[in-house]
Amino acid sequence: MSNQNGKSETYTVRPIGTIHADKGEFYLEVDETYRPALKLLGEWSHVMVVWWADQVDTEELRGIMQAELPYAPGTVAGIFATRSPARPNPLTVTNAAVLGIDEEKGIVRLAYIDAEDGTPLVDIKPYVPMSDRIRDAKYASWFEGFPEYYEDAAEFFATHEVDFGD
């Protein structure tokens, strides 16, 4: 890859821990080195979890630039118009409700996360409504009918057939 000046660049991303998602239990396990960074995170109700979708990190999937949308059959979109983990850099962000934090053990318990058990944790940021919520956000036409809020998604998917190609 080249930057504006034509220089080739690569970047190093180091995991800060591991995501656990097993048997209905969801939590982040932060490596000991990074545990001091958890200080005061417990004052926030939600976090943005940044993770590396390592289980779909292949050259083939990194090369996908367009895909048929599993939730809008017949619609093909550029991969940047999707939330798919199959992308040039399988970096993913999930907003999650925090149930509790044990700073000493490096555990951040979550209500839910859509990562696989053992997924590398890249970063944690507090969800800040002032910065992260947009008043007049627009949805793509093919997304119409989906719930507007995260809290309504579980009920929606329990009552609607949506084939995500799993």
With a cut of 70, list the residues of the chain below it in pLDDT: 1-3, 5-6, 8, 161-166
Q: What pLDDT shows up at residue 32? A: 98
Q: Name the pTM for this structure.
A: 0.86
Domain assignment of residue 165, yes or no = no
At 138-153, the pLDDT tens digits run 888 888 888 888 788 7
Same domain, 61 and 76: yes
CATH at residue 21: 2.40.30.70
pLDDT of res. 149: 82
> Residue 55 has what pLDDT?
94
The answer to whether residue 78 sits within a structural domain is: yes
Phi then psi for 99, rounded to 5 degrees? -95, -25
Residues 82 and 21 in one domain: no
* CA neighbours closer than 13 Å in the CB half-sphere of residue 15: 15
CA 152 to chain centre: 18
- 105: domain range? 13-53+90-129
Name the DSSP class of 144: T
A 10 A CB-CB count for 90 gives 18
What secondary structure does DSSP assign to 53-105, as a single string?
-GGG--HHHHT--EEE-TTSTT-EEEGGGS--S-SSS-EEEEEEEEEEEETTT
Cα–Cα distances (Å) from 109 to 14, 28, 63, 121, in that order, read: 22, 6, 34, 14
User: Do 41 and 98 have their domain in common?
Assistant: yes
pLDDT per position as a tens digit, 59-73? 999 999 999 988 888
Using alpha carbons, list the distances in angstroms from residue 27 to 56, 65, 72.
21, 32, 31
Q: Is residue 163 part of a domain?
A: no
pLDDT of residue 166: 43
Query: Which pLDDT belongs to residue 165?
Result: 47
pLDDT at 161: 66
| 92/83 Cα distance (integer angstroms) | 8
Q: Is residue 134 part of a domain?
A: no
* Both structure tokens of 85: 């983990």
